[in-house]
């Protein structure tokens, strides 16, 4: 037991109440008006310098320590998902078709708890802590860029410029008591693609008079599987997934167009370049061979999330001090999921760490983005204690 975990447990009723309130009232990306209002109010109550409307609905607060030193960015995401909740929890979503199915309600509550904990330690702080409550981590939600980039466009990495950055995620693929802060890549870079194939429509009974974009789409989907199998080293990692194919309206009409959408995931810059090049070559080559024109759009969603070795080591040290009874994994842990914190970690050395939150005995082990997703709230106190301790350790 230690002072950080003690304080986090004392604050648990506060953390839990916030988390459940956010869960009852989830908001999609760039629409977190109620959530950001509560966040700003709680931070202002601490006497922090608060800026609202950063990146549309983001909130930034600055906590200045009593001693000079570096600036540390702590980032917490706020947005929910377009999912209908099926948990049956007493705090289930009251917003139809919207649900906190990834733990961001917990992240926001953790962030506000950490603000209280660090505010009580101003005298120990060497430098400043910049709290970032970010909108729209889950996707673009109709915008050109997501929440991290939107906040960066609004200058969140300036005045003052952070020297280091930390972020965390409750992780329901691992049990309560497991934590991870490893150096190197942790989450993949992501692209999303749209391919529009244009052929020549006609009667389904006269296919010889048409150029069928559905046949081209089927061949392209099959050929794309060769990229990972034959163009990427077995010792490297990549994913190419076609996740949507749309074409046609009638059983007896060969359509004029077909559209394919999907995602590409990579960790390494050279692997990414090779995969993107082969993707275009295959789509254009197969389409041309079957008489179709191909229009390709590939949009970068986020780079890979890569942890700095020195910062990760300090976060690991904090975990050993604060959570000595936990299973602390410092071995590389990677997932093909993506995270727009990667944009910030491209510019600032930092660490993105994971806190196990599942409890199988209580049925709290459904995966992220599942309608029954929920987590063991005991993880909230552990995460807040670890983040607060890691912040002080990183600041020196």
CATH of the domain at 39: 3.40.630.10
Q: What percent of the chain is predicted at pLDDT more than 90?
A: 96
Per-residue pLDDT reduced to its tens digit, 102-143: 999 999 999 999 999 999 999 999 999 999 999 999 988 888
The reply to whether 35 and 107 lie within a common domain is yes
pTM above 0.85, yes or no: yes
Final residue of a domain: which of 249, 277, 301? Answer: 301
Name the domain boundary from 279, 301, 323: 301
Confidence at residue 332, expressed as pLDDT on a 0 to 100 scale: 82
Chain centroid to CA 122: how far?
Answer: 30
d(CA 68, CA 181): 27
Q: In which residue are the tokens 């972020």 written?
A: 167
Select from 301, 336, 354 the last residue of a domain.
301
- Model confidence over 194-212: pLDDT tens digits? 999 999 999 999 999 999 9
CA gap 186, 328 in Å, rounded: 15
Same domain, 136 and 250: no
Whether residue 162 is found in the same domain as residue 53: yes
Measure Cα distances from 203 to 217, 259, 299 in Å.
Answer: 19, 20, 35
In angstroms, what CA-CA distances link 89 with 84, 114, 375, 396? 13, 26, 11, 41
Domain extent, residue 180, equals 3-188+304-395
- 231 touches 224 (CB < 8 A): no
Task: Tell me: pLDDT of 1 over 60.
Answer: no
For residue 62, with 0-12 CB atoms within 10 Å meaning exposed, 13-18 middle and 19 or more buried, which class applies? middle
Burial of 373 (0-12, 13-18, 19+ CB in 10 A): buried
**How many domains would you assign to the chain?**
2
Asked whether the predicted pLDDT for residue 282 surpasses 80, the reply is yes
Q: What is the pLDDT of residue 102?
A: 98
Q: Are residues 179 and 214 in the same domain?
A: no
Residues with active-site annotation: 79, 137
Q: For residues 69 and 53, what is the distance between their CA atoms, to the nearest angstrom?
A: 27
Model pLDDT for residues 143-194, shown as the tens digit of each residue: 889 999 999 999 999 999 999 999 999 999 999 999 999 999 999 999 999 9
Is the same domain home to 52 and 138?
Answer: yes
Question: In the predicted model, what is the mean pLDDT of residues 324-351?
Answer: 93
């Amino acid at each position: 037991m230690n002072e950080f975990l003690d304080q986090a447990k004392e604050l648990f009723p506060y953390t839990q109440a916030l988390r459940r309130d956010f869960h009852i009232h989830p908001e999609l990306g760039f629409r977190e008006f109620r959530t950001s209002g509560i966040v700003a109010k709680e931070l202002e109550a601490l006497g922090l310098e608060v800026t609202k409307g950063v990146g549309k609905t983001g909130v930034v607060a600055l906590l200045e320590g009593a001693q000079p030193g570096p600036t540390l960015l702590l980032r917490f995401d706020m947005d929910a998902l377009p999912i209908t909740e099926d948990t049956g929890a007493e705090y289930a979503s009251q917003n139809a078709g919207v649900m906190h199915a990834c733990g961001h309600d917990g992240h926001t509550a953790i962030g506000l708890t950490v603000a209280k904990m660090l505010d009580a330690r101003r005298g120990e702080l060497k430098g400043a802590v910049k709290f970032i409550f970010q909108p729209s981590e889950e996707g673009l939600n109709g915008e050109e860029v997501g929440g991290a980039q939107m906040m960066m466009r609004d200058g969140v990495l300036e005045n003052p410029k952070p020297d280091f950055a930390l972020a965390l995620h409750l992780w329901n693929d691992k049990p309560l008591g497991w934590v991870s802060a490893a150096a190197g890549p942790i989450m993949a870079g992501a692209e999303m693609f749209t391919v529009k194939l244009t052929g020549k429509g006609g009667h389904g009974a006269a296919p010889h008079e048409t150029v069928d974009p559905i046949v081209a789409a089927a061949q392209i989907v099959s050929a794309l599987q060769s990229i990972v199998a034959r163009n990427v080293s077995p010792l490297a990692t990549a994913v190419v997934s076609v996740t949507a194919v749309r074409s046609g309206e009638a059983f007896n009409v060969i359509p004029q167009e077909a559209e394919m959408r999907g995602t590409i995931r990579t960790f390494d810059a050279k692997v990414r370049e090779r995969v993107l090049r082969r993707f275009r070559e295959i789509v254009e080559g197969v389409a041309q061979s079957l008489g179709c024109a191909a229009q390709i759009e590939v949009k970068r969603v986020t780079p890979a999330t890569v942890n700095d070795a020195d910062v990760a080591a300090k976060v690991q040290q904090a975990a050993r001090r604060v959570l000595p009874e936990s299973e602390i994994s410092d071995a590389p842990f990677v997932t093909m999921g993506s995270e727009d914190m990667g944009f910030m970690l491209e510019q600032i050395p930092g660490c993105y760490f994971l806190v196990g939150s599942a409890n199988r005995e209580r049925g709290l082990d459904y995966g992220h983005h599942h309608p029954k997703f929920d987590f063991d709230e005991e993880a909230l106190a552990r995460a807040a204690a670890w983040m607060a301790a890691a912040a002080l350790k990183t600041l020196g």
